[in-house]
Structure 1
Amino acid sequence: MKLFIVPCTIVLLLFSIGSCKQTKKENQPAIDSSSTSVIKSDKNMELLVGTYTQEESQGIYKLNFNPVTGELSDPSLVVETENPSYLHISKDRNRVYAVNENSQGAISSFGWNADRTKLNLIGQQPSEGQHPCYITLNEDTNLLAAANYSSGNIVVYKVSKDGRIEGDSQVKTHEGKGPVMPDQASARAHCVQFDAHAKYLYAVDLGIDQVLVYPIDDQGNLGASQVALALEKGDGPRHLIFHPTKNLVFLVNELSSSVVTAKVNPENGTMVVVDKKSTLPTGYKGKNASADIHLSSNGKFLYASNRGHNSIAVFSASEDGSLQLLDNTSVEGDWPRNFVLSPNEKFLLVANQNSNNITVFSVDAKNGLLGFTGNQIALSKPVSLNF
C-alpha cells in the first residue's frame, strides 16, 4: 500500500488509501441524537462502501466517519466479494445485503462478527439475471428484491429472520426497447423499491422508459405488472425515491439528465408527472449520465449526481413536488456514482468511481446548498455508500 500526499492533492496508486483535509470549518455541526443508532462511539460512525473489483478493490470496505468534522478515516476491507456495486443495510444494522454485478449475477447476505471488524457470508443466491445493480428489502425485512440491468428482469426472494436468502425465487422479465442505442436496445431494469406497506413493488426500467408496478399479496407473491408511469422516450429512468410524508416520488433519468416528480395513487400504485427539470446548468453541451438521487428528510431539498458534468445538482422542492435547480456543485472527482446524506444530514458524501475517491460536502440546512469541506479519502472504484 502506497500513499503520496502533495499539498491539498491526493495522488492515487491502485489500490491506495488515504485522506486529505484542505480546510477546517468553524462552528462544526453537532451530532443529531436521531442518528445515534449507527454511531460506534461519541465521534465515529460506520460507513460501508461497495466497489467494483476489476482493479485493486477486493470487496466491501468500512470507513470511520466523524459526524462533527466530516472526516473519513481508518479504511478496512470487511469482506472479499466480487463487484459488490450496490448495498443494503438491515434496519438493525446487523446484516448487509449486496449484489454481485457479474454476467452471472448473484446476491449475497452478510452478518457482522462480534467486534464488527469483518462480515461473514450468511448465504448467496443467483440474481436470476445478468449484472444486478440494485438491491433492497421491504420494511418487514422478509422480502428482498434486486434488479438485473443487462437481462432486463427483476428477482424477489423471501428472507429468513437470521438474514438467509431463501431458495425459491420469483422472476419477472420486462419486454421492449427505447430509441437511444445501445443503452435502450432492450429492457434494462435498474432499480426496485417497495412502497412503505409492501403493497407494491416498483421496478424502474431504463431501457423501456417505464416504471412498472407489481402488486404483492399477503404471502409475498408478486402479481402481474402494470405500467405505473411512462416517461418520455429516451429519458432512461434509473433510480426512484419516495417522499417521506407525501404521495410523491422522484426519479432521476440517466439518458436525458433530468429529474421527475410524480404523484402516486395509493389505491392502484399508478403515477402522474408533476414536474420535470434538467440536472445540468443552462448551456452545458458535454456528455452526461445522471446516476443517483436523494431527498432531505424534510422533503425540501433534492439532490442528483451527474456523471460527465461531475456535479451534484441541488434542487428545492415545493409542497406539491415542483422543483427549482439551485446549484451544480463540483464533486471534486470524476464520475460520481452513488452518494449519501449523513444520518444527521449535516454532510453529503460522494463516491467518485473513476477518480477513486470519496469526497465530503457540508449541507446548509437553510438553503440545501453544498460546500466542499476539504475532506476526502482514496479508495479504488467506490460506487455505493451506506451508513
Structure 2
Amino acid sequence: MKHIFGYVVLSVFLLLLTSCKNTSKKSQVGLEEQPIQNKSLQLLVGTFAEGDGQGIYQLEFNPESGVLSNSRQVAVENRPGYLYLSKDGERVYSSNGTQPGSVSVFKWNKDKTALNKVGNLSSKGDGACYIGLSPDEDLLAAANYGSGGIVLYPVDQNGEILDDPQEIQHEGSGPHPNQKAAHAHCVQFSSNGDFLYAVDLGIDQILAYPITQEKKLGKAVVGLQLDPGDGPRHLIFNPTKNMAFVINELSSTVVSASVDPLTGKFKKIDKQSTLPADYEGKNSCADIHLSPNGKFLYASNRGHNSIAVYSVSDSGYLKPVTIESVQGDWPRNFTLSPDGNFLLVANKNSNNITVFQVDKETGRLKYTGNQINIPQPVCLKF
C-alpha cells in the first residue's frame, strides 16, 4: 500500500509539474506572438490655409514606418505660420502672419483633442513670422517680417503672454529688390539666455541683443554681417558647440559660423550654395536644420523644390553631399524626427507633407513614399 500511495503521489506531482511547464510555455509563446505596439508621435502643423480649413492640425507619426495618419484640425487660427511648444507640451504658441500681426497662446483641453486659445496679443507690426521662448520660458520674442521689427513679451508662470511688450524697429536696406527695408525674419535665444538674436533679411544682418537683469533687451551689436544681397532668413545653433548656421533666402546659400557666448558675436567659417551648379531657375531658400548628432546640415530650396544636404566637420566646414527632391512644391519648412531617422517636409503650394528616411552614416535622404495632404502646411513641430 505504501508503494502504491507513493506512486500515486509521484504521478500527481509529475502531472502538476508538466502542466506548469506547458502553461509557462504557452504564456511565453503568447507574449512573443503579440505584435510590438509602436507608440505614435504627435506632429503639429501650422498652415496658411483660409476659410474652414485654416488653423493648426495634429497628425500621428509612426517612428518605425514613417507613416503619417489621423489628420485633424485642433485649432482655428488665421495664418499660424510658426509654432513653438512649451517644454511640458501643455502650451502651443503661434506667430500669425496677418496685417497687423499677432501672437497667440493655446492650451490643450483635458483629453488632448483640441487647443483652446487663452491669449492673443498684437505683435506690434505686420506679418509676424517667427516666435521663440527663452530657456526659462519667461520671455517670448516675435519677428515681424512685413514691418521689419521685433517684439519681446514677459510670460507668466502659467505660460500666458503678458501685455507689456518691448518693441524695437530695425532700419536699413540692401541691394536686392526684396531689401528695400528691414525685414526681421527669425528670433533665437542663446542657450544660456544671455542674448536674443534677430535675423533680418532686409539689412543682411544678425543682431545680438543682450538681455538685461530686468528681462529687457539692451543695445544691439551686429552679431554677423552677411554679404550684400544674402538675405538671411533662419538661424540655428549646434546644441553642443559654440557654432551657428544661417540660411540665406536671396542668395541661396548657407553659412556656418563660430559664436562667442560672451560677446554674442559670430565669426564666419564657411559658405556654400544650396543649388546645383547648372540650375538657372528662380529660387528662394527657407528653412535649415542640423541632424541630432551634429554631423549633417539640411536646407530647403523653394523653386528648385529640394533639400540640400551637407556634412559638417568638427571645425564647422561644410561639404555638399546631395540635393534631394522634396516630392512637392514650395518647401517652406521641414523637421527631423526626434530620433533623427526621418525628415518631414511641409510643401505649401502642393498641400502635402512628405517623409524621407535619413541615412545616419551619410546624411542622404530616401523618399519613403509616405505623404499626407494638409492645406498649405508651413510649419512642422513634434
Q: Do these two structures clear the TM 0.5 threshold for a shared fold by scoring above it?
A: yes
Question: C-alpha displacement at 1:297, in angstroms?
Answer: 1.7
Question: C-alpha displacement at 1:212, in angstroms?
Answer: 0.4
Q: Does 1:254 align with 2:258?
A: no
Q: What CA distance in whole angstroms lies between the structure 2 residues aligned with 1:163 and 1:245?
A: 27
Q: In the alignment, what sits opposite 1:63?
A: 59
What are the within-5 Å matches in structure 2 for residues 253-332 of structure 1? 253-332=248-327
What are the within-5 Å matches in structure 2 for residues 170-249 of structure 1? 170-181=166-177, 183-249=178-244
CA contact (8 A) 1:193 1:240 kept: yes
Q: In the alignment, what sits opposite 2:149?
A: 153
Q: What CA distance in whole angstroms lies between the structure 1 residues aligned with 2:337 and 2:223?
A: 31
CA contact (8 A) 1:43 1:68 kept: no
Q: Does 1:112 align with 2:104?
A: no
**Which sections of structure 2, spanning at least 5 residues, go unmatched?**
1-36
What are the within-5 Å matches in structure 2 for residues 20-169 of structure 1? 42-54=38-50, 57-169=53-165
Question: C-alpha displacement at 1:43, in angstroms?
Answer: 2.3
CA contact (8 A) 2:246 2:256 kept: yes
Question: C-alpha displacement at 1:266, in angstroms?
Answer: 1.5
CA contact (8 A) 1:296 1:345 kept: yes
Q: 1:86 is paired with a residue of what secondary structure?
A: strand
Q: What CA distance in whole angstroms lies between the structure 1 residues aligned with 2:340 and 2:86?
A: 20
Q: Deviations over 1:18-51 (max 9, x none)?
A: xxxxxxxxxxxxxxxxxxxxxxx84211000000
Q: In the alignment, what sits opposite 1:347?
A: 342
Q: 1:167 is paired with a residue of what secondary structure?
A: coil
Q: Deviations over 1:337-382 (max 9, x none)?
A: 1000001111000000000000000000111110000000001100
Q: What CA distance in whole angstroms lies between the structure 1 residues aligned with 2:344 and 2:250?
A: 23
Larger Rg: 2
- Equivalent AA in structure 1 for residue 95 of structure 2: V
Over 3 Å off, 4+ runs: none
Q: What CA distance in whole angstroms lies between the structure 2 residues aligned with 1:46 and 1:122?
A: 21
Q: What CA distance in whole angstroms lies between the structure 2 residues aligned with 1:118 and 1:109?
A: 13
Q: 1:332 is paired with a residue of what secondary structure?
A: coil
Task: Tell me which of the two structures has the higher relative contact order, counting C-alpha pairs closer than 8 angstroms and 6 or more residues apart.
Answer: 1
Question: C-alpha displacement at 1:165, in angstroms?
Answer: 0.3
CA contact (8 A) 1:361 1:371 kept: yes
Q: Does 1:379 align with 2:380?
A: no
**TM-score, L = length of structure 1:** 0.88
Q: What CA distance in whole angstroms lies between the structure 1 residues aligned with 2:333 and 2:377?
A: 9
Are the structure 2 counterparts of residues 69 and 54 from structure 1 closer, same or farther at C-alpha, using a change threshold of 3 Å? Answer: same
Question: C-alpha displacement at 1:55, in angstroms?
Answer: 5.7
Tell me whether 232-241 or 264-273 shows the greater mean CA deviation. 264-273
Q: In the alignment, what sits opposite 1:32?
A: none
CA contact (8 A) 2:55 2:77 kept: yes
Q: What CA distance in whole angstroms lies between the structure 1 residues aligned with 2:147 and 2:363?
A: 38
| Aligned-CA RMSD value | 0.9
CA contact (8 A) 2:38 2:64 kept: no
Question: C-alpha displacement at 1:60, in angstroms?
Answer: 0.2
Question: C-alpha displacement at 1:56, in angstroms?
Answer: 5.7
Q: What CA distance in whole angstroms lies between the structure 2 residues aligned with 1:228 and 1:163?
A: 29
Q: Between Structure 1 and Structure 2, which shows a larger proportion of helix residues?
A: 2
Identical aligned pairs, as a percentage?
56
**TM-score, L = length of structure 2:** 0.89
Q: What CA distance in whole angstroms lies between the structure 1 residues aligned with 2:281 and 2:51?
A: 28
Q: What CA distance in whole angstroms lies between the structure 2 residues aligned with 1:196 and 1:180?
A: 32
